[in-house]
């Protein structure tokens, strides 16, 4: 059989019925949507809401949120996520910090009091306790860039809702919200009232707790939203449950940003000073060293050092990649135990 030339092939294509071409185009569009649009893959299981509550604090000078009338941004309200058995919920500290009393509303509409049992101002996380044992969401691994995620929360007090998007960034630090930050950035719509809500992956597993949004000149979502990473949430919650406060490590050194000129050839953070007889001194760290990596975390700016150190528990040993006088060194830093 002779092989048809290019013009023969083109004529054959021209003879394909117009309806068949349109059908092919339609199928290709549907496939593209299923592949590239997270929300088109699968519906979110509404059973996830059983692990969340709306938080209704009473703030001085404000009415009880959610009691009557339409939702109002002037009546503070938030969200919390079941994080441990026994009725423990994690939420954003700024939702409940000034509250004279706190109540929660479950997905089934039940209202009950909640107690603020522990807090951590450095991360804006707080632990609540209620007299009900809600199902705890399964914990997921760190999501990848571009992977689908959904934010579950209580936007403007309207009730538990879901919005979906993708992971826009990982390991965000130095955003200016909290002293210790390790954020997942997402474009999933997040609005006031969703603070303390859950960020879940495509399998409904918890990967973060919603804490902050960039809003520009308004209080509304502009697609730059932040959730505390699950490792940071676990680090805080474990200590709050065990001892009522978080034992943050004191590594015995401080860092400063590199100059603009230095960043043309290297990224990291420069050691500003080292405490004599401290953990960093024992590790061999010196003033002027440039820290480029801590454990598996690449250091791009000074705030990354804080996150990498504080995500590790006291007593842990961390590997530091350091540049000194154009030489690469590897040091081992052991974080001190509380009270040592």
Residues carrying an active site annotation: 94, 124, 195
Between helices 302-311 and 230-243, what is the axis angle to 10°?
A: 50
Task: List residues bridging with 318 in a β-sheet.
Answer: 333
Name the DSSP letter for residue 252.
S
CA nearest to 91, candidates 64, 63, 120 = 120
Rounded Cα distance between 192 and 200, Å, is 18
Exposure of 226 by Cβ count < 10 A (0-12 exposed, 13-18 middle, 19+ buried)? buried
Question: In this structure, are residues 127 and 89 in contact, taking their beta carbons and an 8 Å threshold?
Answer: yes
185 Cα distance to chain centroid: 7
Length of the chain, please? 340
Rounded Cα distance between 305 and 4, Å, is 65
């Amino acid at each position: 059989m002779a092989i048809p030339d290019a013009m023969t092939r083109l004529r054959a294509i021209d003879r394909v019925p117009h309806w068949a071409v349109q059908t092919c185009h339609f199928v290709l569009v549907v496939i593209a949507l299923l592949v590239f649009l997270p929300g088109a893959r699968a519906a979110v299981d509404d059973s996830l809401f059983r692990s969340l509550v709306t938080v209704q604090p009473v703030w001085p000078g404000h009415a009880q949120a959610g009691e009557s009338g339409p939702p109002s941004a002037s009546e503070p309200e938030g969200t919390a996520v079941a994080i441990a058995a026994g009725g423990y919920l994690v939420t954003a500290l700024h939702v409940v910090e000034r509250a004279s009393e706190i109540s929660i509303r479950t997905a089934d509409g039940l209202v009950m009091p909640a107690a603020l049992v522990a807090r951590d101002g450095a991360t804006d996380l707080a632990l609540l306790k209620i007299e009900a044992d809600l199902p705890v969401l399964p914990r997921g691994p760190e999501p990848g860039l571009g992977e689908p995620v959904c934010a579950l929360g209580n936007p403007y007090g309207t009730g538990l809702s879901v919005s979906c998007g993708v992971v826009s960034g990982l390991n965000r630090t130095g955003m200016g919200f909290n002293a210790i930050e390790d954020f997942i950035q997402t474009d999933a719509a997040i609005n006031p009232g969703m603070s303390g809500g859950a960020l879940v992956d495509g399998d409904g597993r918890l990967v973060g707790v919603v804490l902050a949004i960039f809003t520009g000149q308004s209080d509304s979502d502009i697609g730059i939203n932040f959730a505390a990473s699950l490792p940071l949430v676990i680090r805080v919650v474990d200590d709050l449950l065990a001892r009522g406060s978080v034992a943050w490590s004191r590594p015995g050194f401080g860092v400063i940003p590199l100059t603009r000129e230095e960043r043309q050839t290297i990224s990291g953070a420069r050691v500003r000073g080292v405490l004599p007889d401290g953990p960093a001194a024992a590790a061999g760290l010196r003033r002027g060293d440039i820290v480029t990596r801590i454990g598996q975390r690449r250091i791009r700016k000074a705030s990354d050092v804080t996150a990498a150190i504080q995500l590790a528990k006291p007593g842990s040993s961390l590997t530091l990649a350091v540049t000194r006088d154009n030489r690469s060194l590897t040091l081992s830093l052991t974080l001190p135990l509380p009270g040592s």
